[in-house]
Structure formats: C-alpha cells, structure tokens
Structure 1
Amino acid sequence: MTTQTTAAQTAGTPAADTPKGLIGIPETIGRALATAGGALAVVSTFLAWTWTSEFPGDLTVYGYPGGLQVLVLIGGALTALFGLASYGVKGLRWLVPAGADSALKLAALGTFVTAWYTIIAISTTLGGLVNLEPGGWIAAVTTLAALVGALALPFERPVLDAADPDDSGWEAFRHNARNQGAVLKAAIASGTASPARKLPSYAEILIIVAALAVGLIVFTYGIGTEYDELFVGFLITAGFGFAAVAKAGLVGRISAITAKHRTVTMVGAFVAAAAFPFTQSDDRYATIGVYILIFATVALGLNIVVGLAGLLDLGYVAFLGVGAYTAAMVSGSPTSPFDIHLPFWLSALIGAAVAMVFGVVIGAPTLRLRGDYLAIVTLGFGEIFRIAVLNMDGTSGPDITNGSNGISSVPNLNILGFDFGQQHDILGVSIGRFSNYFLLMLLITLVVVVVFRRSSDSRIGRAWIAIREDETAALAMGINGFRVKLIAFALGATLAGLAGTVQAHVTYTVTPEQYQFAHVVPPNSAFLLAAVVLGGMGTISGPLVGAALLYLIPAKLQFLGDYQLFAFGLALVLLMRFRPEGLIPNRRRQLEFHEEAEAPTVLSKAGA
C-alpha cells in the first residue's frame, strides 16, 4: 500500500516541508488556530450577544449562556477537545481512535454554521447587525478563525488496492477487509489513530451509562426546544456533532462496547427511556414521545421484513391499522358495532393475532414475487385496506368501521385499577395521560426489541439474511424460501398490530386517513420505510433512532409551512448521499457501501 503525495510534493517541494491543507496555512498554525478558536467560542457564549430580550432565548445575560448560545458552547467545546486530542494530549487519545483531524474539521464547521446562523437570525429578527453586542461579534470572529484553522489541516488518503470486478461476493468481502486493515495500520503508524485498548468491565459499563445519559439529554433537549430558531440550531449542532464523533471513531468504539455488553445496554436504554417522562414538566412533550415510540416500534417490525429478509413492503402501515381497528372494536367504544369491552391484554393479543392472519393471507399468494413486483403488490394491499375500511360505513358496504368517521371515543385503558387517562404522582413527579401511555408503549417496545433480537440470532434469522443476500443461493442450499419469507411477513405484521392496539387508545379515534401510504403526519408506509433505511437496516437501534428523527423533525418544522416537506426531503437526500448505509449500520452494510471501511468499524471488532 502506498500513500498519495500532497500537491506540494507533486510540484517538486521537498517531502520534509510542512504539509498544507485546503488553504495555504502551515499545519501547526492551523491546528493552534482551530483549537484556540473553539476555546474562545466557548468564552463568547458567556457574553451578551444582543442588547434586547426580544430575540428568543434572552441572549443579553453576561455569565450565563442561554438559547442558541448553549449550542455554540457545545460546538466550541467539541472543537477545542478534538484540537487538544490532535496534539496527542494524554487521556484524550482514547476519544479519537480514528484520528482527530477529520473530527476537528466537522466540529469547527458545525460551530461556525450555528454561530453565524444565530447572528443572521438576530439581525433578521431585530433589524440589522447594529443589534449585536460584543459577544456576538467575538463568536463570529472566533468560529470563523476555528474553521479557517481546521481547513489548514492536511488531507492524505491511503491508496488502496483496486478490486477485481470479477471477484465473487466472498472474495470482494475479503478484499475490503484487507484494505480496512491497511488503512488502520497506516493511521496508527502515522499517529493519527490509537489502537484499541482493553478496559476493565466496570469501566466499559460506565461508558455505556455515560453514552445513554448523553443520548437522553440530547433527545430531551430536542423535544423540549421552545422556539423554531433553537430547533434549527439544535439540528445543525447535533448533525455536525454526531458526524464529528463518528469520524473520530468514538461511535464505533462505543458500539463495540455495547455489543460486548448487550444485556446491560438494553437494560440501561430501557431505564433511560423510562426516565424521560420524569424529566418533563409539560405533558405535551410526552405526547411526542409516545408517538415516537409507536412509530419506532412499527419501524422495528418492518425491519424484520425489509432489513433481515430483504422484502420490500410498501403497505406495512395497513397492519398497524388492522391492530388499531381490532382493538377499538373490542375495547368498549360506543361507536363499535360490537358491544364488547375486553381487558387490554386480551384486546392486544386479538389485535396482534388478527394482524398476523392478515399477514399470512396477504403473504401466501404474493411472496413468490420478488423485488419491484412484491413492492407493487404490498402497496396495493395498503390501499385496499384503507379503501375497504372507508367503504364499510353501512352504505357502500357492511356497517363495521363507520367509514370516514372511524371508530371514535375509544376509552382510556384501566389496568389493575391504574387509569391511564388520569394524572398520577409517581416519585413526587406528576405524570399525565401521555406519560402513562409512554411508559406502557415502552414496555411493548421492549417486547418487540426482545423478539427482534432473538429472531435475528436464531436459525430462522440466519435464513432471512441468506434470503436477503442471495435468494437463489439460499434456495440451492436447502432453505425453504417461501416458508421463511412468510414467517418474516407474519411476524412483522404481528408486531405492527400489537403497536396498533395502543395507538387506538392514545388517539381516541381510528380513521382510514391515518393509514395512507404517504400521509403528512407519520406513521405511514413511506416514513416507516425511510426510518428503517435512514437508521440502519438489520439493526435494533437504527430504526429506533431513524423513527425518532423522522417523527420529531416534521413535528418541529411546521413553521416552514409549504416548504416543510421540501426541507425535510432535502435533508434526507443529503444524509443518504453522505451516509447511505444509515446512521447506525451493521458491519456488513458498511462494507457494501464503502470500499474502504472506516477505522472505527475495525476498531469496534478489535475492541470486542
């Protein structure tokens, strides 16, 4: 393996000269400028940025950051941290196993964008740059200096062996693995990366706890943003921050630790999620939380069909509707054609069972199709379900679903005397209606996660993956492709139906409009599929994160009006362009999309 020469070396400059980056500043000066700029950006957040409190967040206070200043503080701290790590400061090298330079560039860019966005927003809202106080000017200059310094860092990429286009899948996989090792060895030899170091188990568990705590804080902060400018700044900071941490290799290193302690991670994630309602003073934020859990649970069920078995299902939201309608009919609703009021556990089982039956009935005649043909058939099923329940109004068909009016007044749940529609005091904290349903939905999500994990690790799970990778080869090896795919279809439908039974009680009313292919408000089939692909196919945490983002972002971008879907679609295009394997991909998909696997992925396996 060789290393590409810099432009200066190509022109005949001696190799001993100081390497240059995208701009003609020596590396040492650029590194110092980026580190100092990040630190000074932190200092600027403790100064007033404007003279009036009319701008949201009250940026007039000295000594106490508020609103968008907090986000600039976080970005500046990350920039300074990666800058110090790039000097090889002892104790910080563990945070940058893949090297700090790329992470430093992303952190500096994110801080610059957030600070300048804030300055432009202040000027636009208040009427000109004259409304800026010294703190705002200092933030503008220091973040620009940090970005300029980061762009001065050199960029060198190892040249990898070219792949043979005639290689088989296994040979290509081994070729990529060899290139990964070469990249990692070169990075460690040059001092830009650090080899994985074995930590004691208690230290790894503490790292997991810290990562979950950070995740809870970020999620809570994103939901609780009180005004539009703050949410946009949050997206900028969170996006660039995650990209920087991923480039540093820290995401891969933590992923390896969580994979090693899967049970601890699952329990810790459940506890962190259960703590969310206790961090909210307003039940309206818990409303977003419970809908995110419903969306995420259904996306995880779809991940079995799409992520594990490789079946493109475009009508999956119909199974959610089957479960919701079934539960609404047997839960004592006055508009239900059946005078039945079953306990929740029984209605949940019936809803899941009916959805499973629909999955089998629809899957049996259609799963012999592949690819686009299967996608078209499932899309047709989703529309057939919506039109069928719309016509069952007693006029166009039998009086079962009340047509467009749906089944309304679904009563609140009452389990063992605990009324989910009433406010309760738990541990000295008042928990409202949506917080109650959030905790219930969290238990169901845990059940779905366990089912997904056990299924993917089982023999049938390996058969799903074999079908997804190469159905012809799997059939030749003796796998009953039709039976395996039907099981995946039925199991995915069952999990969606289970989530639908809770949705019926949360929304009070079940109507056909909730289950369109591309509805403005998720969940719908298009958003569900996007959540699986965006988060990371075949993983547990991927669809959960993808669903959270795909529900939260549209809910917070309503101020854009007609441009909401345009901005949302543009963000998805950019994300798929720069990270097509998803936010939290598994190792196989990462190798499929990148000829050279990132160092964090290799280190995660080494650390495991």
Structure 2
Amino acid sequence: MTTQTTTPKTAGTPTAGDTSGLIGMPPHIGRALATGGGALTVASTFLAWTWTAEFPGDLTVYGYPGGLQVLVLIAGALTTLFGLASYGVRGLRRLVPAGGDAALKFAALAAFAATWYTMIAISAQLGGLVNLEPGGYIAAAVTLIALLGALALPFERPAPDPFDPDDTGWEQFKHTSSQNWQTIRAAFTSSIPRPVPALPSYAEILIIVGILAVALLVFTYGIGTEYDELFVGFLIVAGLGFTALHRAGLIAQATEITARHQNITVCGAFIAAACFPFTQSDDQYATLGVYILIFATVALGLNIVVGLAGLLDLGYVAFLGVGAYAASMVSGSPSSPFDLHLPFWAAVLVGAAASLVFGVLIGAPTLRLRGDYLAIVTLGFGEIFRITANNLDGTSGPDVTNGSNGISSIPDLDILGFDMGIAHDIGGFTIGRFANYFFLMLLITAVVVLVFRRSGDSRIGRAWVAIREDETAALAMGINGFRVKLIAFAVGASLAGLAGTVQAHVTYTVTPEQYLFAGTTPPNSAFLLAAVVLGGMGTIAGPLIGAALLFLIPNKLQFLDDYQLFAFGLALVLLMRFRPEGLVANRRRKLELHEEAEAPTTLSKTGA
C-alpha cells in the first residue's frame, strides 16, 4: 500500500501556474484601472501643473502640453494602447505579440515615475507643494491608480525546479533564493507568446523606415533637451518605455524584421544619421554628434579585439592618440616638428599606418599572454604612451610632441576645395563646421562598419571567434593563434588611428591628457570597453549605441557634480544585472548568459 502525503498550501506561497497580481485586486478591475488611468494621464497633460512659468517648460498652459508633460503624455498613451491590446481590441493585437500584461506594467510605471518626478522637481525648485495646480494633483493621482491597477494583473509564476533532497544546505539555500527571485521577476514578465501573421516584404521595409525615423526622433530629442529636468525625465520614459516595448515582444519582432533585410537596415541607418545635422539650427548639438561618432567608431574598432577575438585590451585609447598625433604632425600645424602639410587622404593613411605599426610592435611580444596578464600589459602600454608623449617636450627628451602643451593650431581640413572649417548652404540649410565633420566622420564610420562586417564573416573572423570561445581547442584544430590575434590587434589599432586623424582636426589641439585610462569624460580606455560590453560584444549596432549613451549621458548629467559618476555607475550596475548580454545581444552571447532558459538546471534522479 502506498500512502500519499500532501502538504497543505500556505497562503501566499507561489505555486506553478498560479496567476495573481502583486496586490489583492481582481484582474479585470486592475486592467480597467490601468487602461482608464492611462487615458486620464493623457488628458491630465492638457491641464496646467503649476501656476508660474519659472519652472522650465512652461507647464502653466491649458490645452497645450509642454516640457515634461509631453513625456508623460507619451507614457500615458503607451499605457492606454497596451491596456486596450490586453483586452484583445481588434487591430491592436500586433502591439503585444508576446502578451500585454508585462508591457502594461512597465508603461504604467513609466507614466507614474515621470509624473511624480515632475511633481517633486516642481516642489523642490519652487518651494513646496503649494506651487502645484489642480492639474498636477490629478496627474499624480491617475498615474498612481494606473500603476496599482497594472500591478493587480496576473502573471505566470515559474514552476519550481526539482532539487535533490540529498543536496547540502547551501545548495537548497541557492535553490530557494532562485525561486524567490523568479517569483519577483515574473511580476514584470510575460510568458504567453501570441502568433503574428507574416507581413509582405514591402510592409516590412516600411516598418524598418518607421523604426529608423523613430530612432532619429528619439535621439534628436534626447540630445536637444534644453534643461536638466527634461533630460532626467527623458531617461525615465525612454528606459521604461523601451522595456515595455521589449516585454510586449515588439523589439524582438523588429529585430527579426531587420535581420531579414540587413543591407536595407544598414543603409537606412546611415541615411537617418545623415539627416541629423539638418534637424539642428546651429552647431550646439552637432558638436556632440561628431564626438559621439568618433567615440562610437573607436569602440567599434575595439569590438574586433574584445568582441570577436576575446582579447581584453585596457590601453586601446593609446592607438587613438597615436593616429591623432601622427596626423597632426603632417597637417601643417605651426607647432609640429615637421614642416609638412599633406592632403587629407595622405594624413589619414599616415595616422592609420602609425597606429597599425604600434599595434604590431606592442602585440608581437605580448599576445602570447592570455586573460588578465594581457590586460595588464595593454594597460601599461596606454600609460607608457601618455607618459612618453608628455616627456617628448625638448627638456626631458627630444622635442617631438611639445610635452603637455601638445600640438596646437591644427588647421581645418580642405578636401577638394571644400573647406570644412566654414559654414556652407546646402538645399536651404546652413551646415556649420561641426556638421561638416559629422558627415566626414559618418563616412569613416561606414568604412569601419564595412571592415567589421566583412572581417567578421570571413575565415579570419571565424578564427577570431574560435580563439575567443576556446583558444586551446582552436590551436588543436590547426588555427595559428598568435597570427590570428596579431591580425585582430593590428586591424583594431588601425581603425582607432583612422578615427584619431579626424579627432585631431576637430579639436584643433592634441594633448596627452586626452588619452587617459579612466576619467570623467570619454574617450578613454575604460569608457571604450564599457561601451562595447554595454552595447553588446560581437555586434555592429551594440558598440555604436553603447558609445552614444556613454558619451551623451555623462555630458547631460554634469549638473549632478560629485554625484555624476555615482549615478552613472549605478545605472551601469543595474543594466548589467538585468541585461548582461548588452543592449544589442549577440545570439551566442545571450545563450551563454541565459543557459537556465535553454536547459534544465538539475537532473532528476530515478531509483528502483
């Protein structure tokens, strides 16, 4: 006789397939509150939130949202759309191919966070809650109601993994902690995929055009935020809004569409980027644009070394400095020790060749090292370059680099009679100096992307990946590891030198302090490596997006003063915790970091 023992269910204990929200409210009421709260949030942005125009954005106008109200309006609209889609409204099902409850939670959280941040900012800046108009109180109330309703929606709790009763106490502790974490995480996840009919090719191409247009609009809005409060609100809505779109399945769907039309996507991305200077009335934000492109191009070159070949290089910024110094010495600067003024194409070749030579000279004796040892050697090279450039001042050594003063008064480029230092009128638009260099840097970025794509898909690219995955196994299969790694090092160094030639002319001056291992502003080796890891190693779009964020966010967070790096570092920690594969995930890398989703973590034991 077999006796079956059942354990009574404890209240509040998660079980497999159990569906309930985080708060005790019927799901249909929660969905109604979330959807209605989102609609009322949109309506509340047309009311005045404060009585005085002293708060930036002028939130005193009825019937016309301004400043932070626009961001709340967008978050409220997303909440409403996801709420209607979760009801199965005809025509909105495509908005939630992976299910709408998780997306609705994050959209409601975005509206709530942006609204309450605005209320706190108004009270702190103007001196108390008395400065709020009734519209502000209404907005705060309806967003809170929408968030509470969203948190009442059901979610699928993951079934607990079986564990061996003979495991140690530590193994059981880890198992229990993992299950508790999965339960909390499941509150903001959705696991009910919904099939979406395939679209014709022309419709997918139109979707790609729309995605690129939205990306350009978001980037232009973010880089053009005129005051600190607006940029913080932009980060809140953009971050949580992107997460909502991801939970809805729209990001995965867009990734599949762009992968099927990769060439069209790449060409369209460069066309969209080329439209950026035409959206600016002056060079104020075009300046940030050209520096972002320089930083992004160098990060993409580093991605060959780190992302494809798996070589940890902590002194990569030195190759950028070698290219900049080499180009500045032959471009007609009066402080250069050489009386040369080569045309741009020749200066580019000199800068890239100098970086390539230094890459080979440094890589040849050191690339037989692996891991941390190679990282320490490359870190030393970066410091040696900076100290050497400081000492070549005519006192401590030969007069080559002018020491800490650097090489200054580097003239603007003149390419085929086109002076890049003056403004030009193109089609009724005035293109200033930094916009000229933006187009030039965009062309160089296209060359680097082409090199990355062709090399990554080639035989040498597959050898890089093999070395990265398991160097010992690659060597056993006949791959010449030293030669393959040296090629990666040389190619990455030459691409950094290529970007350095343009940087020298953009900044007018090249000094050793521009090429540190770490600092408060990029480019430096630490930020370059963070851009590759944050964006997504082994991808093209990843380092470009990561570099743009890592350059733009510190530039906009300068008002935090001493807390700038703290806030920035906290954001990086959270992002790496919840998305360790990067913003744009390489498929292999994603599987490595999320093995628990692909295979069972434990094997069941059978006995006689």
Q: CA deviation at 1:163?
A: 11
Indicate the SS of the match to 2:425: strand
Do the aligned partners of residues 297 and 95 (structure 1) sit closer, same or farther apart at CA in structure 2, a change above 3 Å counting?
Answer: same
- The aligned amino acid for 1:425 is D
Deviations 1:572-595 (A, max 9, x none): 111111111111111111112223
What is the CA–CA distance in structure 2 between the aligned matches of 1:404 and 1:163, rounded to whole Å?
A: 63
Alignment of 1:449-468 (within 5 A): 449-468=449-468
TM-score if structure 1 supplies the norm length?
0.90
- The aligned amino acid for 1:539 is T
What is the CA–CA distance in structure 1 between the aligned matches of 2:570 and 2:24, rounded to whole Å?
A: 33
Q: Is residue 47–residue 63 contact of structure 2 (8 Å, CA) maintained in 1?
A: yes
What is the CA–CA distance in structure 2 between the aligned matches of 1:282 and 1:374, rounded to whole Å?
A: 45
What is the CA–CA distance in structure 1 between the aligned matches of 2:243 and 2:577, rounded to whole Å?
A: 14
Q: CA deviation at 1:361?
A: 0.7
Deviations 1:364-388 (A, max 9, x none): 1111111000000000000000011
- The aligned amino acid for 2:231 is F
Q: Is residue 590–residue 597 contact of structure 1 (8 Å, CA) maintained in 2?
A: no
Q: Indicate the residue corresponding to 2:520 in structure 1.
A: 520
Q: CA deviation at 1:196?
A: 4.2
Q: CA deviation at 1:152?
A: 0.5
Q: CA deviation at 1:92?
A: 2.2
Deviations 1:509-542 (A, max 9, x none): 0000000100222000000000000001010001
Q: Is residue 19–residue 157 contact of structure 2 (8 Å, CA) maintained in 1?
A: no
Indicate the SS of the match to 2:430: strand
Let me know the Cα RMSD of the aligned residues.
Answer: 2.0
Alignment of 1:47-66 (within 5 A): 47-66=47-66
Q: Is residue 19–residue 27 contact of structure 1 (8 Å, CA) maintained in 2?
A: no
- The aligned amino acid for 2:390 is L
What is the CA–CA distance in structure 1 between the aligned matches of 2:36 and 2:229, rounded to whole Å?
A: 27
Do the aligned partners of residues 11 and 127 (structure 1) sit closer, same or farther apart at CA in structure 2, a change above 3 Å counting?
Answer: closer
Q: CA deviation at 1:42?
A: 0.8
Indicate the SS of the match to 1:59: coil
Give unmatched runs, 5+ long, in structure 2.
1-6, 165-189, 599-608
Query: Percent sequence identity over matched residues?
Result: 79
- The aligned amino acid for 2:542 is G
Q: Is residue 299–residue 528 contact of structure 1 (8 Å, CA) maintained in 2?
A: yes
What is the CA–CA distance in structure 1 between the aligned matches of 2:297 and 2:373, rounded to whole Å?
A: 26
Q: Indicate the residue corresponding to 2:356 in structure 1.
A: 356
TM-score if structure 2 supplies the norm length?
0.90
Deviations 1:319-338 (A, max 9, x none): 00000001100000000000
- 1:106 and 2:106 are equivalent in the alignment: yes
Do the aligned partners of residues 8 and 325 (structure 1) sit closer, same or farther apart at CA in structure 2, a change above 3 Å counting?
Answer: farther
Q: Indicate the residue corresponding to 2:479 in structure 1.
A: 479
Give unmatched runs, 5+ long, in structure 1.
1-6, 165-189, 599-608
What is the CA–CA distance in structure 2 between the aligned matches of 1:12 and 1:300, rounded to whole Å?
A: 49
- The aligned amino acid for 1:480 is N
Q: Is residue 464–residue 485 contact of structure 2 (8 Å, CA) maintained in 1?
A: yes
Alignment of 1:581-596 (within 5 A): 581-595=581-595
Do the aligned partners of residues 97 and 533 (structure 1) sit closer, same or farther apart at CA in structure 2, a change above 3 Å counting?
Answer: same
Q: CA deviation at 1:249?
A: 1.4
What is the CA–CA distance in structure 1 between the aligned matches of 2:294 and 2:12, rounded to whole Å?
A: 61
Deviations 1:133-153 (A, max 9, x none): 122111101110111011101
Q: Indicate the residue corresponding to 2:263 in structure 1.
A: 263
Q: Is residue 228–residue 557 contact of structure 2 (8 Å, CA) maintained in 1?
A: yes
- The aligned amino acid for 2:280 is Q
Q: Indicate the residue corresponding to 2:415 in structure 1.
A: 415
Deviations 1:215-238 (A, max 9, x none): 101100011000000000011111
Q: Is residue 123–residue 131 contact of structure 2 (8 Å, CA) maintained in 1?
A: yes
Once structures 1 and 2 are overlaid, which stretch shifts more, 74-83 or 489-498?
74-83
Q: CA deviation at 1:154?
A: 1.5
Alignment of 1:174-573 (within 5 A): 192-573=192-573
Q: Is residue 156–residue 191 contact of structure 2 (8 Å, CA) maintained in 1?
A: no
Q: Indicate the residue corresponding to 2:185 in structure 1.
A: none
- The aligned amino acid for 1:487 is I
What is the CA–CA distance in structure 2 between the aligned matches of 1:271 and 1:260, rounded to whole Å?
A: 19
What is the CA–CA distance in structure 2 between the aligned matches of 1:8 and 1:544, rounded to whole Å?
A: 54
Q: Is residue 19–residue 156 contact of structure 2 (8 Å, CA) maintained in 1?
A: no
Do the aligned partners of residues 22 and 12 (structure 1) sit closer, same or farther apart at CA in structure 2, a change above 3 Å counting?
Answer: closer
Do the aligned partners of residues 157 and 19 (structure 1) sit closer, same or farther apart at CA in structure 2, a change above 3 Å counting?
Answer: closer
Indicate the SS of the match to 1:425: strand
What is the CA–CA distance in structure 1 between the aligned matches of 2:597 and 2:281, rounded to whole Å?
A: 44
Deviations 1:16-54 (A, max 9, x none): x99420000011111111111111111111111111100
Do the aligned partners of residues 158 and 83 (structure 1) sit closer, same or farther apart at CA in structure 2, a change above 3 Å counting?
Answer: same
Q: Which has the higher contact order (CA 8 A, sep 6+)?
A: 1
What is the CA–CA distance in structure 2 between the aligned matches of 1:163 and 1:301, rounded to whole Å?
A: 45
Indicate the SS of the match to 2:204: helix
Q: Indicate the residue corresponding to 2:116 in structure 1.
A: 116
Q: Is residue 94–residue 194 contact of structure 1 (8 Å, CA) maintained in 2?
A: no
Indicate the SS of the match to 2:55: coil
Q: Indicate the residue corresponding to 2:75 in structure 1.
A: 75
Indicate the SS of the match to 1:159: coil
Deviations 1:89-116 (A, max 9, x none): 2222222222111111111111111100
